[in-house]
Structure 1
């Protein structure tokens, strides 16, 4: 839909630039084209005042714009200066552009370490990322930088072992320099440099080669599996799920030739289902980190569209990107939102039929191209039967509330890096938290640490953990005793 402009086309701004068509907008900001090919950010007064309160901008950085009864703040940029919201950005077109963005990230965090930058506005002229939403960030800055560098792949920037799978136009030394410019230490494994592609290729040349089929990204035979062959995958608090991942995914990836000789070329697709807060998302995140592969996500927010065929097109694009970057992981979150039963779940419309059909077609194709597919849902009974049958998703795993032993394993993991005194005895907590979501376990440890710090203590004590437990009653009733199971 066209964006409604706050100001008329041709309206003269205080710095002499003229307003063109709006490019991006939020409820309290707008980016417009200006005469000569530049851009201007126009912000409402309240948003500008928040940036000032955070010390991210000065009064002199912006001009005051009065239009009707409204008062705005505005800054213009030349065509050579980048100005865009991160949610609508493209990959950098040069090394210098990447360094400029990394510098802005570092400078912003040096002033404001807490604000969410996921939907921030990048202003190269000010070397700032200006947050447009309240609250702290749900995605860390390493992932933010990696997401921008790769054009939408969830790879932390410090994962120097993983980034070269998709960033062939930046050599290893330059990539490390960019990450260090952003203020991150490099502590990853050495880069396994691809040998079939010249590092001189730019992003557009690289994309063309992929389409033409002359470049295959990150294939196991070229780069290795990315899996640490010396260590098994570990998942504290979910022992049976850990065993399943090691047996059905990790071992197949490690011993590819042996399995291939017996007709098994790649791990099958898997569904994790169960009540909220029981560790499904955490388990998948840990597996992705262990594998070291690029990851992609499909959820309702990324593919939903009111337009005919648009959702199916978005699904197809994500599958294509995952296959181009294979071996990779494709996570389908809250799958009941768009893969509900076509007959019973309100899915009789052509929209739903088309969306389910696109998944049915794409899942086997992606698996054959070394894309590991893991789906998650809290409502498995709503999923279309055609999706659930073997051949699409071979494994359907229930992830229920944890046992006392599983809670104890997670507590040991969470408490290990924290300073604590001799009173801390996890057994009492394990008994009380058994049968509750694993997110409750993490909350009790975090809240106990907060109470300890507030009391001026330098070590975590059992009393604070018990106090945290007593002030955080379970939000789930009637669920105790449910265990992880396989069907």
Structure 2
């Protein structure tokens, strides 16, 4: 429904901004887009006086003017500053944007301990959240902040574990800093990763106290060969940066993991991102693909820019065959494909130079354009097969070892039967075994429960792997 603008298009405001169209409104305020960029907040006298009386703004910050018999006040800002209702703000693109909002929230709350913020207008230029005193139900500050930083998910910033999963691009240590900057307490972490600790220590100011030691090590239960590869070609280079730099190696090369669905590619990358503690970004068909000319390339470029801006970071390219298929394949979309491949060819070396770790995944390596597979773009092309019996046994030992057990459990026989199946099947059998044990009144996992779980969980290519429920 179109908004009923208080001011006509082209009207010159007292500070020189010219009205273009109204974007947002409330009972006593409207936000306009200005001609040539930027925004202007126009408020009625009563709301302006409320802010002044609450000492949220100084007199003179908003410029008074009259229009149509109404006494109004306005303040404008350029396109480089956010001016928007909190509920309409998009999630931040960088740590600096998140810190700016945190500073604004804390500064406003120190001046006004009582007013609700769920209906506030964020004026980045003033470092203020200006409440509009609507009749909406009050929302706690920690949820207001969580909703803003996640782009609309009503989560408290004190629920740090969940917040991390929703704001994965920011990285644990950076996210913790943002939360604390706003005056909230971020729960203590189980320990920084060694890589994240080294980055933080390198950025520490002289005289700062040394950080606590970090005991965590990188591991991929069930995939020892892939674990060793990532340690050797990624983690060791990051953790021993100066030694490698002295020999001309600035940063880890880009990597492709390819193999059948369920072989553990995604799990490995998620574990690596968690270990590094860096902001992570993703390029996938559902988020950047577009039928419009140039649009996909534009979106890809935007993700690369965000990753570089927040480096060191990780950029994951999922289902890369959707973007980087051989340009000789298919005539109808060949022009789009050439443009998209060219964008990747240009941006990958640039991103690596700016400390962005690039990891791509595909189930169809034979479809990828040969230019992408050349050394210098993706130096490492790693095949990840289905887990062997030894690898399945390793994963079973890890999963079962975390649960209370009744008697001796023979995992070797289970590993033999689960060999060659997706690792998700292995995890499912253990979880289903635990459910069966609990359902039978036990508080410990046993061999019988796991055997029943395996019997009830055939491979998906065996009779479809679907549960049958019927009636006679």
Query: TM-score, normalised to structure 2's length?
Result: 0.63
CA distance in 1: counterparts of 2:22 and 2:401, whole angstroms: 52
1:378 to 2:363 alignment: yes
Number of the residue aligned with 2:101:
93
* Aligned partners of 2:256 and 2:380 also within 8 Å: yes
Q: Quick one: which of 192, 203, 211 aligns to 1:222?
A: 203
Question: Which structure is larger by alpha-carbon Rg, 1 or 2?
Answer: 2
1:153 to 2:134 alignment: no
Shift, 1:422, TM fit: 1.1
SS, match of residue 178 in structure 1: coil
Q: What are the superposed Cα offsets for residues 187-219 of structure 1, whole Å, 9 maximum, x if unpaired? A: 44499999xxxxxxxxxxxxxxxxxxxxxxx68
* Aligned partners of 2:280 and 2:315 also within 8 Å: yes
CA distance in 2: counterparts of 1:448 and 1:86, whole angstroms: 43
* Aligned partners of 1:256 and 1:265 also within 8 Å: yes
* Aligned partners of 2:219 and 2:227 also within 8 Å: yes
Q: Quick one: which of 178, 199, 216 aligns to 2:184?
A: 178
Q: Quick one: which of 211, 223, 228 aligns to 1:243?
A: 228
Q: What are the superposed Cα offsets for residues 375-413 of structure 1, whole Å, 9 maximum, x if unpaired? A: 011111111111111111011111111111100111111
1:340-351 equivalence runs, <5 A:
340-345=325-330, 348-351=333-336
Cα pair distance change 1:126/1:252, threshold 3 Å: closer
CA distance in 1: counterparts of 2:406 and 2:88, whole angstroms: 49
Number of the residue aligned with 1:311:
296
Number of the residue aligned with 1:424:
409
CA distance in 1: counterparts of 2:195 and 2:234, whole angstroms: 22
Number of the residue aligned with 2:87:
83
SS, match of residue 255 in structure 2: strand
Number of the residue aligned with 1:407:
392
Q: What are the superposed Cα offsets for residues 404-443 of structure 1, whole Å, 9 maximum, x if unpaired? A: 1100111111112211211422112111101111110011
CA distance in 1: counterparts of 2:317 and 2:347, whole angstroms: 13
1:39-188 equivalence runs, <5 A:
82-84=86-88, 91=98, 93-95=101-103, 97=105, 125-127=138-140, 142=160, 145-146=163-164, 153=169, 155=171, 159=172, 161-163=173-175, 170=178, 173-174=180-181, 178-180=184-186, 184=187, 186-188=189-191
Q: What are the superposed Cα offsets for residues 79-129 of structure 1, whole Å, 9 maximum, x if unpaired? A: 9973359879984723574899xx999xxxxxxxxxxxxxxxxx8844579
Cα pair distance change 1:280/1:142, threshold 3 Å: farther
1:363 to 2:348 alignment: yes
Shift, 1:38, TM fit: 7.5
Unmatched runs of 5 consecutive residues or more in structure 1? 11-20, 24-31, 40-78, 106-122, 131-136, 195-217, 478-487
CA distance in 2: counterparts of 1:223 and 1:409, whole angstroms: 39
Cα pair distance change 1:227/1:325, threshold 3 Å: farther
* Aligned partners of 1:227 and 1:291 also within 8 Å: no
Cα pair distance change 1:383/1:147, threshold 3 Å: same
Number of the residue aligned with 1:17:
none
RMSD in angstroms over aligned alpha carbons?
A: 4.2
Q: What are the superposed Cα offsets for residues 323-350 of structure 1, whole Å, 9 maximum, x if unpaired? A: 1222211111111112111111567432
Cα pair distance change 1:419/1:310, threshold 3 Å: same
Q: What are the superposed Cα offsets for residues 131-162 of structure 1, whole Å, 9 maximum, x if unpaired? A: xxxxxx9xx964652477x6x7153xxx3x35
Number of the residue aligned with 2:422:
437
Size of the aligned set, in residue pairs, is 349
Cα pair distance change 1:179/1:403, threshold 3 Å: farther
Cα pair distance change 1:287/1:38, threshold 3 Å: same
Q: Quick one: which of 234, 256, 267 aligns to 2:219?
A: 234
Shift, 1:362, TM fit: 0.5
Shift, 1:306, TM fit: 2.6
Q: What are the superposed Cα offsets for residues 270-323 of structure 1, whole Å, 9 maximum, x if unpaired? A: 000111111111101111122222211111122112332222122112112211
